[in-house]
Amino acid sequence: MRPGEFRDLTAEELDEKVHELKEKLFNLRFQKSTGELDNTAEIKKTKKDIARAMTIRRERESQGVESQ
């Protein structure tokens, strides 16, 4: 996903997306260890998506603290 797509999500949707991506990463790592994964670049892409989502979540948290 693009960072803009993550920014369009609500906080709850963003949390759910992070959870889904972490599950996906777990499954990809499992597939890699068993030799079933063909596209290993998918692991790197998923890690970056998790980082993007968590960064946006952290930005929102810090903005909420600053506005109080």
pLDDT digits (tens, 9 = 90+) for 6-42: 889 999 999 999 999 999 999 999 999 999 999 999 9
Paired tokens of 49:
């998506």
Secondary structure class of 13 (helix, strand, coil): helix
**What was the pLDDT predicted at 43?**
97
Res 66 pLDDT > 70: no
Each domain of the chain, given as residue ranges in start order, spans 3-32+39-61
Q: Nearest to residue 31, comparing CAs of 43, 49, 19, 44?
A: 43
Paired tokens of 53:
């989502």
Topology of domain 3-32+39-61 in CATH is Helix Hairpins (1.10.287)
Sole residue written with tokens 């989502």? 53
pLDDT, mean of residues 55-61: 92
Residue 64 binned pLDDT confidence (cut-offs 50, 70, 90): confident
Comparison of pLDDT for 17 and 64, the residue scoring more = 17
